[in-house]
Chains A and B, each alone.
Chain A
């Protein structure tokens, strides 16, 4: 056994040290699963061993659960096996059931087994602990215990869905598993899945004491006469299931099979003895893991996010850029937010604006967040003060001296941007990076104002900066790899996820994001009832209905863009029926969107939408007032395909080159249905390029050329290629 070490003391208590070699954190690898079989056999059959205490050999914690990277790989290999579907499933079940079998054997080995938890136990790590007879945890509120599998589209597959509800009740367990929520040792004890909390460093001692005092140990569910109190058909028991089903439906819109299957595991498993229950769980685990949702979510939300978070898309060969001081030009909403996240990450920040008052106002934004965190106990007063002290609001550009980077966040006006660029560069060191936070203006054009276009890059933040995890880096024509590497180091330092795109109109995120509200308007003009458009938009996994998105962006802004485009093409903007509709809403009806309190929606005083504006029917006759499942499915496809096809076009044009960037970006930037794993995974995993192209052609024939697949898609479809194969084979995990 390479992962477990056994030391038997004079009392016959075996201290089992769990220590996966070569890793900073214990995870459950294939090797750990094999060792567990041996370990359990040893505990059971070695007469010298009277009982056992399992503890971690790492200071990082007990165990963080399954190795998702390995799981992801295993899934990919299994694909090629030339077996019947049923044989394949049987094999998958046997593999998956191995861990359940080992842990069940541990639980029924006849000797007392306790676990000493000095640090975190998550996922499979907690499931190992749950299979022990007694759990001792160190009294440290920062320690996390939880089953987070559902966050990446999986379910706990090593007894978690069965032991936890039997220990702490169905309702509490279901909540914890469905949300993937963490509990501290004290909370866990309160709930009932930790038996004892002792001072840090004393867990092994306490666990050994328990083992010594309890030479015979049986899990509660193995005690004769054990009955589950809150099964679905016990008095009052059904409420947890009826309510739980509804909550899951409501919160997931049935897009996430993991949550549904977790409910099924609990409902079906709780009604039968534990051995049968574990088989049921393993079946649902496989059923869940085989869904495109699980595959896409694991890859994008775990593997890719982790890779990008470690600089996986960073050009190689450049030393890490130490970002200690950054100047932010413009203390408006974006600038103020950027200043906050920088100061929070320990970066000395100069916040510049045209007047001292505006600059101070920008800093006040940080103060509000800090005060709130301090009042909620999330931050100490000292740390808060330190954070705020890092922000220097000023009008004095000479303070830029010594900055490693400048983020320009003034109004989207090329002349203004050129002016501040020149002003800032006068004080900026030669190796420093100049980043422009623009969402629309071409970087190469803005870089013309720079004396060092090689150091010039687009750093596109999203609003609100402190909550949005993504930063889109835009490479201008002259931008060097070194500058990109430096910008990535900056983004990682402020703990955000960078994606890299090239300098095309709308870049990647703004361009693709716009197709969602645009498709909503197409439906509106076809006479689909606005409620249907909005509800289906939300129900297919987007964060808001498309019309609400339009309202948030601003209908006047959209109209302005339409007019500018028309001018460029020397056309009357009202010739386009979409623009004519917008013109009527904005110019005749005075509805500019959320900021004006009226748009496609009506808004209350709190700025929240109260209802859809019924006046739209004056202009557009509502023809579709019923939405049976077939129509819902069709509208769902239109929303998702429209966005994905735009992403595919971005690949063909070279706007974006890495499927990981595209997937992560689509979810983090504009909230593309997260259960898909992103736009590219939706094409690759839910359809495959061949079927995707066929379906897109059908949609194009029915609704317009905007759905027509591009050459790239057709080419890939012909070869049966996926995006991850064609664009990411080497780079992607």
Chain B
């Protein structure tokens, strides 16, 4: 089987995901187009050699609907022969797109492929696509459907993380992200977003609040008390699956949860031979990817299980991994993962994460994978594991290894 090499990784900065955000006036198509153009232009890429473009997108409706990947390929003036496919694995869609691209390269179906993602949460709001899980009684009740915020609070309650614990983690995320930006650690991958005239619109992540302190967070009200305790009362629903929890403690709020933002990402993946033929220099190797399902009501504990699954498959232990990256959907998700796998917090999310910079759903997976490619090179480390918690109890993970 062929090896899958990463030749490049780019992302847009993340704009605030509301109508005052800088990227609100740019279409999702334009965001996706700009990262594809960047991949091509930075690498002087003969796009006719690209077999397929996989883009994660969690709300594929409206302007993000009907296979935005292929439409972006056309809009970016790639060769007509390049196919495109939109991928949805909820929050891990971007990483899944990378894993699919890598699998195609490894299997020989593709010689060169792109995995990435796009999500303009300000233009196509989260939840726009509906779906059966929460609405269809036959599945909602059977699986104790509970919104992920309440699930995150349950994780904090069940695994013993206090409000201070989750807030402290959030402060650290802000500090790490601020430091990383200040030291230019993201510089290699950032593609500033241009407006309709081609003028730079946004060149930095605008969701960050580097001056966040424990005190400033303490003033925020927990976000999920109402839907948990009152209307419609999801605490009582999830306690049916977790009777061991006497009372759900609501600790998450806007300051220790991932931010709603707009953005896009792309990773160029190919065989060794095709890379050589195109004169590209490999930066990392994709050792493997995996996805898993776990208990859906608590929803966000999948990263532990997919991490174990992938490490087992690769014959590795946690000692073989130098850097750990888990999307910061909610602070307790990361704290539980670190606790369950007994990880060194100093190696986890070293440059901050979505609490500080935001989580543009479909794009995030490929964004944090790209950030790990940069960080392995910068810190001269070998291997990184990237993972995300995923709706309905899933988890997706990828292990990459620096090549030069």
Contact = CB atoms under 8 A, between A and B. Distances in A.
B234 interface: yes
Interface string B137-151: 110110011100000
Contact of A245 (B141, B241, B245, B247): B141
A536 interface: yes
A267 B243 contact: no
B145 A531 contact: no
Interface string A673-706: 0000000000000000000000000000000000
A250 B138 CA distance: 15
Interface residues of A, number: 36
Interface residues of B, number: 27
B232 interface: yes
B141 A249 contact: yes
Contacts of B242: 627
B246 A264 contact: no
Given A249-B141, A267-B135, A632-B243, A243 B130 contact: no
A242 interface: yes
B277 interface: no
Contacts of B243: 531-532, 535-536, 539, 627, 632
From A238, A249, A539, A611, name the one whose CB has the most chain B CB atoms within 10 angstroms: A249
Interface string B57-96: 0000000000000000000000000000000000000000
A627 B135 CA distance: 26
A578 B246 CA distance: 24
Contacts of B245: 531, 535
Contact of B141 (A233, A243, A260, A535): A260
Interface in A641-662: none
Given A245-B140, A249-B141, A250-B233, A539 B240 contact: yes
Contacts of A254: 141, 240
Nearest to A243: B232
Nearest to B247: A611
Contact of A238 (B135, B239, B244): B135
Contacts of A238: 127, 130, 134-135
B382 to A, nearest CB: 37
Contacts of A253: 240
Interface in A602-631: 611-612, 625-627, 629
A235 to B, nearest CB: 10
Interface string A533-569: 0111001000000000000000000000000000000
A232 interface: yes
Contact of A246 (B232, B239, B247): B232
A241 B236 CA distance: 17
Contacts, number: 95
A250 B237 contact: yes
Contacts of A531: 243-246
Nearest to A232: B135
Interface string B16-59: 00000000000000000000000000000000000000000000
Given A250-B237, A539-B243, A612-B246, A245 B134 contact: yes
Contacts of B240: 249, 253-254, 535, 539
Contact of A233 (B130, B140, B146): B130
B346 interface: no
A519 to B, nearest CB: 15
Contacts of B135: 232-233, 238, 241-242, 245, 267
Nearest to A533: B243
Tell me the interface secondary structure of chain A in the complex: helix
A249 B138 contact: no
Contacts of A611: 246-247
A625 B247 CA distance: 14
Contacts of B136: 232, 241, 264, 267-268
Nearest to A622: B244
A531 B235 CA distance: 14
A248 interface: yes
Contacts of A263: 137, 141
A332 B88 CA distance: 67
Contacts of A261: 137
A247 B232 CA distance: 6
A529 interface: yes
A424 to B, nearest CB: 49
Tell me the interface secondary structure of chain B in the complex: loop
Given A238-B130, A260-B137, A260-B141, A246 B244 contact: no
B231 interface: yes
From A242, A260, A531, A611, name the one whose CB has the most chain B CB atoms within 10 angstroms: A242
B240 to A, nearest CB: 6
A254 B135 CA distance: 16
A243 B230 CA distance: 11
B234 A246 contact: yes
Nearest to A242: B134
Given A250-B233, A250-B236, A250-B237, A245 B137 contact: yes
Interface string B212-247: 000000000000000000011110110111111111
Nearest to B147: A242
Given A232-B135, A242-B134, A245-B145, A535 B239 contact: yes
A267 B247 CA distance: 31
Contacts of B237: 246, 249-250
Interface string B306-319: 00000000000000
A625 to B, nearest CB: 6
A546 to B, nearest CB: 13
Nearest to A261: B137
A626 B243 CA distance: 8
A271 to B, nearest CB: 10
A249 B241 CA distance: 11
From A246, A263, A529, A531, name the one whose CB has the most chain B CB atoms within 10 angstroms: A246
Given A233-B130, A531-B244, A627-B242, A243 B137 contact: no
Nearest to B130: A233
Contacts of A245: 134-135, 137, 140-141, 145
Contacts of B231: 243
A628 to B, nearest CB: 9
Contacts of A244: 137, 232
A368 to B, nearest CB: 30
A277 to B, nearest CB: 15
Nearest to B295: A628
Contacts of B236: 249-250
A250 B228 CA distance: 11
B236 to A, nearest CB: 4
Contacts of A530: 246
Interface in A196-236: 232-233
From B237, B241, B244, B246, name the one whose CB has the most chain A CB atoms within 10 angstroms: B244
A529 B158 CA distance: 13
Interface in B248-274: none
Nearest to B132: A232
From A530, A531, A626, A629, name the one whose CB has the most chain B CB atoms within 10 angstroms: A531
Given A250-B236, A611-B246, A627-B244, A264 B134 contact: no
Interface of B: 127, 130, 134-138, 140-141, 144-146, 231-234, 236-237, 239-247
| Closest 5 pairs between A and B when the two form their complex, measured CB to CB | A535-B243, A263-B137, A531-B246, A246-B232, A245-B140
Interface of A: 232-233, 238, 241-250, 253-254, 260-261, 263-264, 267-268, 529-532, 534-536, 539, 611-612, 625-627, 629, 632
19 contacts: A232-B130, A238-B135, A241-B135, A242-B135, A243-B232, A245-B137, A245-B145, A247-B232, A249-B141, A250-B236, A263-B141, A264-B137, A267-B135, A532-B243, A532-B244, A611-B246, A627-B242, A627-B243, A629-B241
Given A241-B135, A248-B137, A535-B244, 17 more contacts: A232-B135, A238-B135, A241-B137, A242-B135, A242-B140, A242-B232, A247-B232, A249-B144, A249-B237, A249-B240, A263-B141, A264-B136, A264-B137, A529-B244, A531-B246, A611-B246, A625-B244
